[in-house]
Structure 1
Amino acid sequence: MAVIVRAGAAPLWWPGLLAAAVGVFVPGLTGRRVGLPAGAVLFLVAAVVVALLRTGRYAQLAEGAARAGRSDFLQDRAVTVRNWRRAHRWWLLGAFVAAVASGFLVPGAGGLLLAGAGAGLWAKAVRIGRREQRDDVLYWVRTDWAVRGGPAGKQVKAYRTTGPVAGGGRPGGGGGGRPPRRAGRTPRRGGRR
């Protein structure tokens, strides 16, 4: 589940920094002395708001999580990241273009706002990872539920859990874990987290 949260962090962070850098070289309508401090404030606000958004809902779903069964399909983290980024590519491109264009009015502000949203998503994934480490599980959400509204949307009824290295993942949505063993009641690899 944290993979979905984390999937948007890099596509917002790096283009946001690039858009802010473009703004540094463009004088803009307000000038850099106004634009960059305003962008720093927007960065902090966006990071805090995105990091705290729907935290209660995430906690509620995690508390009601049930152990994944043999019939649950667990989608590989790399597939989840690729599918999320492909589904949101036009939105991400539009956000980048808007951030660059805003640099001609308020230099750097739009790019730093975008980067702040990325930083907030990364912080949220880290917080989820700490909970997963504490509970010694990975939280998963059904793929069809996540596609329609994200990992904490109204359509998500509950999370599933597996051991902390199932699906080649680590707590917080990072990679590097060992793939699950096929013996016993370990779920099949392959749901979106």
Structure 2
Amino acid sequence: MGRGGQSLARVAVIVRAGAVPLWWLGVLAAGIGVVLPGLTGRRIGVYVGAALFVGCAAAVALVRRRGYTEWAERASRAGKFDYLQDRAVTLRNWRRAHRWWLLLAFLVAVGSSLALPAAGGLALAGARAGLWLKAAWQGRRERRDEALLWVRTDWAGSGQPVGKKVKGYRTTGTGAGDAVPGGARRR
């Protein structure tokens, strides 16, 4: 790293990191839940699951938005010697750090299918939709400001780009890194 440079990870990529595993685990849990009869029956379970999908998507998309906005407004320019972490490395680190939580969420979703078939799986899929919406919101902001948002990897070590350890964001131009605004892979 030399000369005091810091390792930086994209904020939008950290937000999107959980979207893919939550989606597939949610779809799998919902599929298993539909096979199980459950206490309330499939129709009620699917209706409750649809409501949970919408509720979880809205909650995840809206939670901590003010924190992201405040840090983005006070962001400083990244230094010449800062190291920009690859998108794949950020995704891998987040998923490794949260693999047990993802497994636990999957098991709870499948277990809840004994009472409400498919509801837990649809709630997980709704959380994925909320993460995707939040990343898309950040992408629109990054395009508008023409600046990508980065956070130091040691501050966001637990996968929380607005956690207690975070003391600020850094910005670069939109051409930096290997992810487009919003955290998707650059093609």
CA contact 2:97–2:158 (8 Å) conserved in 1: no
Percent of residue pairs bearing the same amino acid type: 63
Structure 1 alignment gaps of length 5 or more: 178-193
Equivalent residue number for residue 103 of structure 1: 113
1:57 matched residue in structure 2: 67
The number of aligned residues is 177
SS of alignment partner, residue 141 of structure 1: strand
Secondary structure at the counterpart of residue 57 of structure 2? helix
Which 4+ stretches in 1 moved above 3 angstroms? none
1:163 to 161, 165, 173: 173
Q: Secondary structure at the match of 2:71?
A: helix
In the alignment, the residues of structure 2 paired with residue 130 and residue 53 of structure 1 have an alpha-carbon distance, to the nearest angstrom, of: 17
Specify the alignment match of 2:149 in structure 1.
139
Amino acid at match of 2:58: V
Q: Does 1:88 align with 2:107?
A: no
Q: Extract unaligned runs of 5+ from structure 2.
A: 1-10
TM-score by length of 1: 0.89
Query: C-alpha offsets along residues 34-87 of structure 1, whole Å, 9 cap, x if unaligned?
Result: 111011111111000000000000000000011100232221111000110011
CA contact under 8 A between 1:19 and 1:108: conserved in structure 2?
yes
Change (3 A) 1:149 1:176: closer
RMSD: 1.1
For residues 148 and 157 of structure 1, the distance between their equivalents in structure 2, rounded to whole angstroms, comes to 14
Distance in 2 (CA, whole Å) between partners of 1:107 and 1:149 is 31
Letter of the 2:34 counterpart: V
- Cα distance in 1 between the residues matched to 2:94 and 2:183: 13
Paired position in structure 2 for 1:114: 124
Q: Which amino acid in structure 1 is aligned with residue 79 of structure 2?
A: G
- Greater strand share, 1 or 2? 2
CA contact (8 A) 2:94 2:159 kept: no
Work out the CA distance in 2 between the residues paired with 1:25 and 1:175.
35
Query: SS of 1:140's equivalent?
Result: strand
The corresponding residue for 2:6 is: none
Report the alpha carbon displacement of residue 149 of structure 1 after superposing the two structures with TM.
5.7
